[in-house]
Amino acid sequence: QVQLVDSGGGSVQAGGSLRLSCAASGGTFSSYTMGWFRQAPGKEREFVAVIRPSRSTYYADSVKGRFTISRDNAKDTVYLQMNSLKPEDTAVYYCSAASSMTYQDLFDQGRYAYWGQGTQVTVSS
């Protein structure tokens, strides 16, 4: 059973930066695909970014060029560096983990077996 603990959220002004972390335990971290999703008030949870065991990465169009996902297999941790933050980035951010993902699975939250508790990011204008 994999456990994920999200951290690093907070309140920043537009244009600022935050780095989210997600520490994993209970599984072989290096073999998992790790994703970040977010849910804004009144909206459905949406895909943000994903990193595969091969370290290939994919991003939602809305964050491409501003967010960077990375992983440290020695620390069993995945990061989401968020720069040039906008008010529309305000949401609860969740990390997730899954194994044996096809390309099509990467963007489907239903394919992720494990989830963190979420961390709040608030961006003010």
What digits encode the pLDDT tens for the residues 41-79? 999 999 999 999 999 999 999 999 999 999 999 999 999
SS (H, E, C) 20-78: EEEEEECCCHHHCEEEEEEECCCCCCEEEEEECCCCCEEECCCCCCCEEEEEECCCCEE
- Confidence at residue 100, expressed as pLDDT on a 0 to 100 scale: 82
Q: Strand 3-7 relative to strand 18-25: parallel, antiparallel, unpaired?
A: antiparallel
Which one is predicted more confidently, 1 or 11? 11
- Confidence at residue 30, expressed as pLDDT on a 0 to 100 scale: 95
Mean pLDDT of the chain: 97
CB neighbours (10 Å) of residue 122?
15
Res 108 pLDDT > 90:
yes
